[in-house]
Amino acid sequence: MQINGEIIVGIDGSRACREAAAWALKEARHHGVGVRLVSVVAPSAPGSAPTDEARAAAQQALDSVSAQLSELLPDARFDTVLETGDPAEVLAAKSEHAGLVVIGQHGSDQRTGGRIGTISSGLPGHALCPVLIYRDTEASEFDSADAHVTGGGGVVVGQDTSDYAGVAALDAAAHAARTGAELTIVVVTTPLRDDARVRAQTELDMAWLRSQVPGLSVRTEFVEGDPVDVLTECSAGADLLVMGKRGLGRFSSMRVQLGRTSSQVLDAAQCSLLLVPFRDDPALAHRRSAD
């Protein structure tokens, strides 16, 4: 995973967001970047200010997770920000200069404004950097100061022949190699696709990823079916699912918006999901085509 800027974490008081913050702090320490915890309080009505109760609850959520993070990593440094507005808009605006935005998959279990769960389906399509939607499990990120929670399912990346998928595969491979996980490349086949070409391209991509990410353990699965169904099923046994925001057919004006598959998997994924926008990564110059 390539993180070249500050990690923004949306905080709403829920367990999922607290776990997401711990995940982000560990990643930040590895990449040498900062972390900013952002709690956004929505106005009580259009044109009005948030209630004092809502602001107090949001600040309490920030203070609570800050205390937990300081206990987990006493030497870690992070900033906290309390803002007013639409949570999706605020976090999307901050993504312009961020390296990663992290949010919890579910909404708040407390009465705070700006519940992250209500915007998790909208933010990824507007953020200008990668977005990780953290799905919490019975285990906790606070159980270890070094390792992420894992069920041994490894990292799964949905792959096609697009540059979007190539960038997503690079990030998936880097994260898998660093955390000691196996990377599974899932290639969805259909009767209408040139299966021989897809398989040839996948072999080239596996060799390319190994050359770019030393020590990578990678395997491939070819599965026939609808991409949304296939990737959703694969996510059930994975620790992290990685996808490009769009698939085949890259247009410069669509580097942020979600494609059909990613937008539907976003709602159905059974593990944490990393959505990666296109970037002009130098490694793409070494990716060979089966054409």
Amino acid identity, position 252: S
Identify the residue whose tokens are 């070409």. 197
Task: Tell me the range of 88-92, 197-201, 235-239, 244-248 where mean pLDDT is highest.
Answer: 235-239
Q: What is the pLDDT of residue 46?
A: 79
The residue to which tokens 């609850």 are assigned: 57
- Strands in 100-104's sheet, in edge-to-edge order, are 79-84, 35-41, 7-10, 100-104, 131-134, 272-276, 240-244, 155-159, 183-189, 218-224
Position 191 scores a pLDDT of 73
Confidence of residue 107 (pLDDT cuts 50, 70, 90): low
Domain ranges of the chain: 7-143, 155-286
Mean pLDDT of 98-111: 75
Cα–Cα distance for residue pair 230/232, rounded to 1 Å: 5
Q: What is the pLDDT of residues 117-176, one digit of tens each?
A: 555 666 887 888 999 999 989 999 999 999 999 999 999 999 887 888 899 999 999 999
For residue range 44-54, list pLDDT tens digits in order. 887 788 889 99
Assign 88 a pLDDT band (cuts: 50, 70, 90): confident
Q: Is the per-residue pLDDT at 116 higher than 50?
A: no
Could you check whether 7-143 and 155-286 share the same CATH topology?
Answer: yes
- What H or E segment, with its residue span, contains residue 224? strand 218-224
pLDDT value for 121: 63
- Residue 264 to residues 3, 130, 232, 259, Cα–Cα distance (Å): 25, 17, 9, 9
Ramachandran category for residue 59: left, alpha or beta (phi over 0 → left; psi -120 to 50 → alpha): alpha
- Please give the structure tokens belonging to residue 74: 């006493």
Domain 7-143 has CATH 1.20.1730.10: no
What type of residue is 40?
V
Residue 194: pLDDT band (50, 70, 90) is: low
User: Residue 214 to residues 98, 105, 176, 181, 209: CA-CA distances in angstroms?
Assistant: 27, 32, 11, 13, 8
Report whether pLDDT(92) > 70: yes
Q: How far apart are CA 68 and CA 19, in angstroms?
A: 10
Give me the architecture of the 155-286 domain, per CATH: 3-Layer(aba) Sandwich (3.40)
Residue 66 has pLDDT above 90, yes or no: yes
Please give the structure tokens belonging to residue 252.
């410069």
Q: Tens digits of per-residue pLDDT, 3-12?
A: 989 999 999 8
**Per-residue model confidence (pLDDT) at position 110:** 42
Confidence of residue 28 (pLDDT cuts 50, 70, 90): very high
The helix/strand/coil state of 242 is strand
